[in-house]
Amino acid sequence: MTIATDGAVPPAGTAPTPSRPGTSRRRRNVPTSPARQKLISVASVVGGLLIWELLGRFVVSNSLFLATPLQAMAELARMTASGELQYHVWVSGQEFIYGFLIASIAGIAIGLAMASSRAANAALGPWVAGLYATPIIAIAPLVILWAGIGIWSKVIVVISVVIFPVIINTEAGIRSTDKALVEAIRSFGASRTQLFTKVMLPSALPFILAGLRLGIGRGLIGVVVGELFGARAGVGFVILQSAEVFNMPRLFAGVAVLAAAGIALMALCRAAETKLVPWNRS
């Protein structure tokens, strides 16, 4: 006979109710709703800007060393009113878009070739590994010297920093395809084209999109690096010009534009990933 914990005797034939150890754990791990996630993101940004503002006003009060968010916003408003900001953003935007598109297309193609052919992997692998480890700060002056200070020198710099994450992720995505799934579709008589389009490419798509997300941040850095070494316009040119005369509000205004562009492009890439690979949603 089983004795209850409070001293009462349970009725005859009554089995104790089994506990469910995973229930409380599942309740604690309930995913956060999208609205709550957005609220957390906004609160994080606002809180960080508020701390920055307080530091700039009461801790580092000299604007020669640190500009507050309000000072940067005032400078952004002034540059927008004069039309200066739109011109610099347009120049840097062209450099980024051209370089990012060319690097994405070329990187996916090279990654597919390296994953599909051992000869291509052996021929291109050392170049990819070596150039990926080369610091862009070392080759940017040479690119500016060879291609001039026009737009295409910056496009080349952007390509050189974006293409390698795309190549590596594309190759890793193709190689991570489930071998059992490949053998199953081959047993049904699928052609090489069907095998690639129905199995390998969908399997590699999350990896490719992850490489593109990495390329966004590296591409924005490439734009700034290219404009630091030789430019007549652009956000990087604004940052360099402001640093030379210690105009911190203008410098932080340029940095804020780059940060906003990165956030917007990352959000756009995540939205595209949600549409293209819904099966990969957590």
In a domain, 89, yes or no: yes
**Domain of residue 263, CATH code:** 1.10.3720.10
Dihedral sign of CA atoms 71, 249, 231, 212 in order: negative
CA triplet 99, 210, 34: central angle to 5 degrees?
Answer: 115
Helix (H) or strand (E) holding 282: none
Nearest to 196 by CA among 212, 163, 173: 173
DSSP 3-state helix, strand, coil percentages of the chain (rounded to 5)? 80, 0, 20
State how far Cα 142 lies from the chain centre. 27
In a domain, 59, yes or no: no
Res 24: pLDDT: 47
In a domain, 54, yes or no: no
Full domain range(s) for residue 260? 64-280
pLDDT top residue among 155 and 41: 155
Kindly state the DSSP code that residue 278 receives in the 8-state scheme. G
Helix (H) or strand (E) holding 69: helix 69-82
Res 201: pLDDT: 83
pLDDT classification of 5: cutoffs 50, 70, 90: very low
Res 80: pLDDT: 92
pTM of the model: 0.77
pLDDT top residue among 12 and 229: 229
The lowest-confidence range among 2-6, 123-127, 255-259 is: 2-6
In a domain, 39, yes or no: no
pLDDT classification of 135: cutoffs 50, 70, 90: confident
CA triplet 257, 259, 263: central angle to 5 degrees?
Answer: 115
Instruction: Average the pLDDT over 126-141 and give the result.
Output: 83
In a domain, 3, yes or no: no
Other CB atoms within 10 A of residue 153 CB: 22
Average pLDDT of every residue of the chain: 82
Helix (H) or strand (E) holding 178: none
Nearest to 162 by CA among 215, 96, 222, 105: 215
Res 45: pLDDT: 83
